[in-house]
Amino acid sequence: MAEQPLAGRHVAVTGGTGALGQVVVARLIAAGATCHVPSHREGATDEGDDQLRITSGVELTDEAAVAGFYDSIPRLWASVHLAGGFAMAPLAATGREEFLRLFEMNSLTALLCCRAAASAMRRTGAGGRIVNVAARPALEPRKGAKMVTYATSKAAVAVLTQALAEELKGEGIYVNAIAPSTIDTPANRAAMPKADPSKWLNPSAAAEAVLHLILPLDTEVSGAVLPLYARA
């Protein structure tokens, strides 16, 4: 692999200001990419970093806002969709509002970003790469007990990934996803103080998987939903 295999490439990273997103963005920048990160917060700043461009005020469930964000990126090569949400509740405590909220945060944002990214890539005529984030319960539904809405919304992301991979492969746009188990982040440690984080997925390992899936030399993998379960 070249030292900077993404030199000169523009990559969108949703959720790029989060715990996992910051690690992914740093890894892609180290590989030479210019990362474009949407933020729903007004006034978010990239602090003058030439390889990090943060666009504030972008709501990823807003179709027009998503299209505008992607239209602003020059010669988009790859789009990585880390934005999403998590909720845990038994069936009796799960209602319409929570179901729709999780589907908007996980499934709808992935769909809108995939569509806008594919449109931007078509304009370059050079193909591209899309990476979504599913989750272990999407591939192992029994793991979704007491988090059925989350598991279902992430299963939709896995299906979206595979369907779009088939639809877009003829245009050289390859679509894959990672399906992590619990990621070792400060928020997860705080939420599960009695758990053993040594079994959790290191964010750096997830970042390496994302990098591999968007490399220009990777011309054979599309439609994969890659399990990242660490030692869990």
**Residue 41 domain flag:** yes
Task: Give the pLDDT confidence of 3-29 residue by residue, as tens digits.
Answer: 899 999 999 999 999 999 999 999 999
CATH of the domain at 153: 3.40.50.720
Main-chain dihedrals φ then ψ at residue 193, nearest 5 degrees: -65, -20
pLDDT at 2 over 60: no
Give a yes or no: residue 93 inside a domain.
yes
Q: What is d(CA 134, CA 139) in angstroms, rounded to the nearest whole number?
A: 8
Confidence of residue 232 (pLDDT cuts 50, 70, 90): confident
**Phi (first) and psi of residue 228, to 5 degrees:** -125, 85
- Render pLDDT for 140-180 as a digit per residue (tens, 0 to 9): 999 999 999 999 999 999 999 999 999 999 999 999 999 99
Residue 2 lies in a domain: no
Query: Does 4 reside within a domain?
Result: no
Assign 1 a pLDDT band (cuts: 50, 70, 90). very low
In the chain, % of residues over pLDDT 90: 91
Is residue 127 classed as helix, strand or coil in its secondary structure? coil
Domain interval for residue 129: 10-228
Question: Per the structure, how many domains does the chain have?
Answer: 1
Give tens-digit pLDDT for 95-110.
999 999 999 999 999 9
Q: Where are the beta strands (DSSP E) in the chain?
A: 10-14, 34-38, 52-55, 76-81, 128-133, 173-180, 225-228
Residue 31 lies in a domain: yes
Residue 42: left if φ>0, alpha if ψ -120 to 50, beta else—which one? beta
CB-CB neighbours of 134 under 10 Å: 28
137 is a domain residue: yes
* 78 is a domain residue: yes
Question: Does a structural domain hold residue 216?
Answer: yes
